[in-house]
């Protein structure tokens, strides 16, 4: 390589993202996400990957294939070459989950320095979710709205009382850092949140998942479908294919499917049995087994028939 | 170096820390910190530093000097060789600040999975802090306790109402992840928090500082004085000397002190003036200037006389 | 939870690991790996996971199931609660790859401070690997040893000359930091390397893979099979099942298998075609397509028949 | 805050940096640094800091004061809101130090995939540096050039032999990953290196320091003075004042200076003595003591007279 081969260049811009820069996408009753700034594009990912191979830029038609290759084989460093900065408004309860992702840069609105934002996430009568019985940390379906009305009224009263207490303290000259201590977790906060594309995709994979809590899932879906999709469309397509809709099989699961396809059902049952999947109750029915249940769901997705009853 | 020079070794243990392993130190009204496990000691820091120099273990008497040298010159990697795991119980409001330190490993009690801990930080009548006027994000002094009683009563009512609403939701079968949304920020949470010594000292430097909020400062002081001091006494001594009690001077501040000591007051004033420190009001008095004020405090610590009035 | 329920505890020890503490496992011609210290065990992972669920310790027999669940669902934080510190001796060329893993703590032998280690990785005549033609960044098979002798001789001469030049510079009083500049990349270095179990497993997944370079693979295999397996046997078993031997399928791959199993070959071909997998050469044969080739290998593992020729 | 207050915005651009985008700055004999892309400016730092305070944009004249305040008080998060991507060409020996900074994103030229760059750092006869006697890991002065000629000739021969051996292996079809193993550490590599401004400044503080090795110092100086200074001029000015030219004093050093200024020399000597600074040899002269020597240098910078002889 020769130094003198390099010429002045321009910063990479993405028209579809420039169009929505600064414009808030509404999330929940009073939250939002908006793009403040960004660096890079699909093209930057390709460019970075090709540094590794010491080659000049190739035909644009090959970029898609390269990005899919990188995504498929989890070559993450080229995706780290893109960066985005969002301005978000989120209930603190949701934000508590959000900032567990430690790879982002954050500047949050300070309720030590300023009066707390006078807004808390509210729940409509038909939005109260029922505790899932199958999933200890999930919800399933909604309460009927008659009771929902009652709960929404209570929520409203609690919000009013909490705000009254907060204001009372402030009026008495209590330090903001202490006055805020009993605000409800549903109180909105705001932050600048900056992250590279690789880590953002990891965040989206976890938080767009059906097991993620509804609130953060709504933010993740907005970021994914309104922002990332416009920013890096080739990457988004590959992410959708290889992450969001992909499925894992363990070593033994592959062996069992192989044996089913080879019509060696007995051998398949032997492996399942060795994994403890086939223990029976006194009445002869199979005991509950989480690993087996999860595998049965995968078999169903493949339209493959399970070799036990 | 020869491979065969290595023999079987033992895990490094620190008797003073082993003695308090698992025992909770109380913090605030209902919080605590306790050590769950740890790895390393002062000796491990020395050992790691000496890997870099390719030398065998030296006299114990030189360890103190080496650790002070490493601390003074901010050679941080040897301190990263020690690791500690704490179990903490903290109000969520305080925990929100705590986890902004992104370098720790965390497992937090899940209020999606389990019923929220039935305890919130309470404030005694004489503990209500007044908003500082000089420091936008601080407090200064306490409210007189007559009004304090009123505020503590209100706090109690709010806690009761919030818990009643929470229980009500749970009784109606609302998902725990949604039921918790209006718990007060003062609700206690628990977590395992694991961090290396270098990053722990950084946490302590920031959170033992007088500008840190009182609540987190109490935790930091407990961790520092009850735990770290027992764990790595030589490191703690060096940290106390070179971090907690240190002071730093900018390039221009050093020049000004040099000129004061050289009795070249006019030249000192010229620099101060060029920094915009000496602008005057119409009545001839100096305008407020934060940089100058901070420097004057440093001069006082040195018992050096400021060259302006 | 009540504070007073906590009693003094002991640091968690693993007998099988304590037995090999400090003892070097030889890797390559003159490298090694040995455990210097560690924190935690399978039991600590379970303990941390259960903090999240707010429950006391359960029956030991359930630990295995919980660890498998955590591994399967990529709940990584409990694995971060274990930490290990290794002392390694590695050729610098290999070390260059190693430290790309940014999540570890490192203290490396300093060739600025000390004379460079007088040892470089050598290659036996039968160990010269041939450039793979199918994999641009891999090797495949060995050169016949007659030529290997020649190359090993050349290697030896080069090592001798490089060391002579280095010593010459040192003798003339050249600074060690400059004298070392032309040492071969194969020169051995040593380091303390400390990492948590989650990140160590990620390292092992990448570096035990058949696509990893042989040298680093040997280190990874030693760490995995001699150390981690002894340290956290339940975790190792789950890792082996769900990571090392797992396979993942993209959204479209699952659809195609489903259609094959449903005997809807035409629909399967349509999807394959839309992915660009079935483009043909003039002679009617399928064009090379990396995605299709990789999928065919997966079909083979399942003993499923590909629906194209 | 109201959502509808936000309008479309533009990505922040810095004219002085746009001018040099893509243009390489030469470093060493055959290295370079060039900016590939960036995000943010001084203005973004101010913007992020003000999110924390919940206030709109203020007068530009106050930005400088705010940035100096943030730098002085080590409020690092607003500086993390700026990001830069560099393309660098560096000798591997220097790169080994460079990538110890774990907070950057990296894509490096792959010598597994491609033929190694045919260039190694060379040393002119007058550039051979002498080992420092006072600083174990530094150099001091240059060798006289007669001997320098000899060493430069040897360097040239070694480079030629190493390249010949490398080419020989490649010609025999040896895998590139193995063929490269004996290239000299001085061989150039290239990489994309992306980092946020806070971490970049930390890198510069360490690597522009006079104790940093000359080679990496040249890169750091180029990045600082040619790039960062043009990118974020207010931040650079504050960094220069509060980091590059600042000086630390420990708790005891401050006490001693205070006592000197108070003319309480005996008390000052007592503290120095308790620190072990005043131990004497048999002839009555002070023993060497690194802490004392470093303090004496600070006293000299302040033009303060040391209270011992």
- Cα C22 from Cα C35, distance rounded (Å): 5
**Chain B interface mutation, best of A114, A173, A214, highest count of B Cβ atoms under 10 Å:** A173
- Asked if the structure places residue A37 within a domain, the reply is yes
- Cα C119 from Cα A102, distance rounded (Å): 40
Nearest to C241 among A242, A250, A294 (CB): A250
**Chain B interface mutation, best of A30, A90, A93, A161, highest count of B Cβ atoms under 10 Å:** A93
Catalytic residues of C: 207
Model confidence over B208-217: pLDDT tens digits? Answer: 999 999 999 9
Which residue, among B208, B209, B210, has the nearest Cα to B221 in the 3D structure?
Answer: B208
Model confidence over B29-69: pLDDT tens digits? Answer: 999 999 999 999 999 999 999 888 766 556 666 899 999 99
- Asked if the structure places residue B204 within a domain, the reply is yes
- Asked if the structure places residue A6 within a domain, the reply is no
Share of chain B above pLDDT 90, in %: 89
Q: Residues C58, C197: one domain?
A: yes
Q: C104 CA to chain A: closest CA distance, Å? A: 15
Catalytic residues of D: 207
Could you report the predicted ipTM of this complex, rounded to two decimals? 0.93
- Cα D200 from Cα D194, distance rounded (Å): 9
CB contacts of A247 in chain C (<8 Å) are 248-249, 254
What's the pLDDT score for residue A5?
79
Residue A27, H or E segment: strand A25-27
Model confidence over C26-52: pLDDT tens digits? Answer: 999 999 999 999 999 999 999 999 888
pLDDT range class, residue D225, cuts 50, 70, 90: very high
Eight-state DSSP code of residue D285: P
Whether the CB-CB separation of A166 and A176 falls below 8 Å is answered with no
Model confidence over C80-120: pLDDT tens digits? Answer: 999 999 999 999 999 999 999 999 999 999 999 999 999 99
Catalytic residues of B: 207
Whether the CB-CB separation of C68 and A291 falls below 8 Å is answered with yes
Q: Residues D257, D143: one domain?
A: no
* Number of domains present in the structure of chain C: 3
Residue that wins the pLDDT comparison between D265 and B60: D265
Eight-state DSSP code of residue D284: S
Q: Tell me the CATH number at B66.
A: 3.30.1360.170
End-to-end, the C-alpha distance of chain A in Å comes to: 65
Whether the CB-CB separation of B201 and B239 falls below 8 Å is answered with yes
What's the pLDDT score for residue B237?
97
Q: Does C61 have pLDDT greater than 80? A: no
Token duo for residue A100: 């567990």
Token duo for residue C160: 């001798």
What's the pLDDT score for residue B58?
60
Which residues span the domain enclosing B271?
Answer: 251-301
What's the pLDDT score for residue D4?
56
Whether the CB-CB separation of C260 and C305 falls below 8 Å is answered with yes
What's the pLDDT score for residue C59?
66
- Cα D232 from Cα D235, distance rounded (Å): 5
- Asked if the structure places residue A207 within a domain, the reply is yes
Instruction: Pick the residue from chain A with its C-alpha nearest to D50.
Output: A109
Nearest to A183 among B123, B139, B185 (CB): B185
Q: Tell me whether residue B257 is exposed, middle or buried, using C-beta atoms within 10 angstroms of its C-beta: 0 to 12, 13 to 18, 19 or more.
A: buried
pLDDT range class, residue D5, cuts 50, 70, 90: confident
Q: Residues B112, B209: one domain?
A: yes
CB contacts of A78 in chain D (<8 Å) are 107
Q: C43 CA to chain D: closest CA distance, Å? A: 31
- Cα C167 from Cα D123, distance rounded (Å): 17
Model confidence over B147-160: pLDDT tens digits? Answer: 999 999 999 999 99
E-assigned strand segments in chain D: 25-27, 31-39, 83-91, 105-108, 129-131, 139-142, 188-196, 247-249
- Asked if the structure places residue B3 within a domain, the reply is no
Q: A254 CA to chain B: closest CA distance, Å? A: 32
Q: Residues C81, C167: one domain?
A: no
pLDDT range class, residue C1, cuts 50, 70, 90: very low
List all chains that touch chain C, counting a touch as 3 or more CB pairs closer than 8 Å.
A, B, D
What's the pLDDT score for residue D59?
66
E-assigned strand segments in C143-293: 188-196, 247-249
Q: Tell me whether residue D297 is exposed, middle or buried, using C-beta atoms within 10 angstroms of its C-beta: 0 to 12, 13 to 18, 19 or more.
A: exposed
Q: Residues A225, A94: one domain?
A: yes
Q: Residues A145, A237: one domain?
A: no
Q: C265 CA to chain B: closest CA distance, Å? A: 44
Model confidence over C248-290: pLDDT tens digits? Answer: 999 999 999 999 999 999 999 999 999 999 999 999 999 999 9
- Cα C236 from Cα C34, distance rounded (Å): 18
Q: Residues D69, D193: one domain?
A: yes
Q: Residues D296, D172: one domain?
A: no
Q: Residues B68, B174: one domain?
A: no
Residue ending a domain, choose from C244, C265, C292: C244
Sites in chain A below the pLDDT cut of 50: 1-3
Q: Residues A110, A27: one domain?
A: yes
Instruction: Pick the residue from chain C with its C-alpha nearest to D182.
Output: C184
CB contacts of B176 in chain C (<8 Å) are none
Model confidence over D109-161: pLDDT tens digits? Answer: 999 999 999 999 999 999 999 998 888 788 889 999 899 999 999 999 999 99
Q: Residues D215, D296: one domain?
A: no
- Asked if the structure places residue C135 within a domain, the reply is yes
Q: Residues C38, C96: one domain?
A: yes
- Asked if the structure places residue C206 within a domain, the reply is yes
Residue ending a domain, choose from C206, C226, C244: C244
CB contacts of D68 in chain B (<8 Å) are 291
- Asked if the structure places residue C277 within a domain, the reply is yes
Q: How many CB pairs under 8 A join A and B?
A: 157
What's the pLDDT score for residue C145?
87
What's the pLDDT score for residue D52?
80
Instruction: Pick the residue from chain A with its C-alpha nearest to D55.
Output: A114
Residue ending a domain, choose from C155, C182, C209: C182
Is A262 in contact with C303 (Cβ distance < 8 A)? Answer: yes
């Amino acid at each position: 390589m020769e130094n003198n081969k390099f010429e002045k260049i321009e910063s990479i811009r993405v028209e579809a993202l420039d169009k929505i820069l600064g414009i808030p996408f509404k999330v929940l009753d009073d939250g939002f996400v908006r793009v403040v700034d960004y660096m890079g594009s699909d093209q930057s990912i390709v460019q970075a990957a090709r540094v590794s191979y010491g080659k000049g830029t190739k035909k644009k038609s090959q970029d898609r294939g390269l990005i899919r290759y990188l995504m498929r084989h989890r070559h993450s460093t080229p995706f780290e070459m893109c960066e985005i900065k969002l301005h978000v408004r989120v209930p603190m309860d949701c934000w508590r989950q959000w900032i567990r992702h430690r790879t982002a840069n954050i500047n949050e609105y300070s309720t030590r320095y300023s009066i707390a934002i006078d807004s808390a996430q509210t729940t409509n009568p038909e939005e109260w979710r029922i505790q899932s019985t199958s999933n200890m940390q999930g919800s399933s379906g909604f309460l009927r709205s008659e009771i929902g009305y009652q709960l929404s009224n209570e929520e409203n009263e609690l919000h009013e009382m909490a705000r009254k207490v907060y204001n009372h303290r402030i009026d008495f000259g209590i330090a903001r850092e202490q006055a805020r201590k009993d605000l409800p977790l549903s109180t909105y906060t705001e932050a600048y949140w900056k992250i590279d594309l690789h880590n953002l995709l990891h965040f989206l994979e976890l938080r767009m998942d059906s097991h993620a809590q509804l609130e953060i899932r709504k933010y993740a879906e907005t970021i994914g479908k309104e922002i990332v999709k416009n920013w890096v469309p080739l990457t988004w397509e590959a992410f959708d294919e290889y992450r969001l809709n992909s499925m894992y099989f363990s070593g033994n699961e592959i062996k069992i499917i192989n044996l089913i396809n080879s019509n060696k059902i007995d051998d398949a049952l032997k492996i399942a049995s060795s994994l403890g999947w086939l223990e029976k109750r006194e009445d002869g029915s199979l005991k509950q087994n989480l690993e087996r249940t999860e595998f049965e769901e995968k078999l169903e997705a493949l339209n493959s028939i399970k070799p036990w009853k």
